[in-house]
Amino acid sequence: INHLEEWEKKADALARLMDNVESFLESEDLGDVITATRTEEGVILVLQDSILFESGQAEILNSGVPFLDEVGRLLKGIQNTVRVEGHTDSRPINTFRYPSNWELSGARAGVVVRYFIEEHDLDEERFLIAGYADTRPVAENTTPENMSKNRRVEIVILDGEHDQAAQNN
């Protein structure tokens, strides 16, 4: 098969996934809190950290549970590998538990994955976690509003091609 056909098949699968995710977010009325974007890698769901965590903490708040439950239901309906990423703003943190934003971002990604595995019985082999601290801001860390955009958890639903790569490594 030539590369173009491969690419088109891949694009189709991603487009279907994106359609599913978008209609899911619409039907569950989650558009304000969760945004979905399509990239070459797959479909990325972005959850603002304020619904999930207290400042500087990595325990899931009650307010975040319904959103994670919705996403858990979505993930149950598909087989894709999922990478959960934690992102912070640029304010330094130095607590006993989180000496830096690296620990905080990694811990947040970890608790989200653990929630999916424990509460939704999803297969743990499907998950990867990443903590990016403040190295991948989506906005300049110059205003409180921008900083809150940077504090987020991204759930990346990897498209099938990336799944294969993940399994072969």
Q: pLDDT tens across 66-111, in order?
A: 889 989 998 998 899 999 999 999 999 999 999 999 999 999 999 9
Answer for the pair 72, 122: CB distance below 8 angstroms, yes or no.
Answer: yes
Strands 152-158 and 34-38: unpaired
Q: pLDDT tens across 125-153, in order?
A: 999 999 999 999 999 999 999 999 999 99
CA distance readout (Å), 26 to 70, 75, 133: 12, 16, 30
The confidence score (pLDDT) of residue 169 equals 44
Nearest-Å Rg of the Cα atoms of the chain is 16
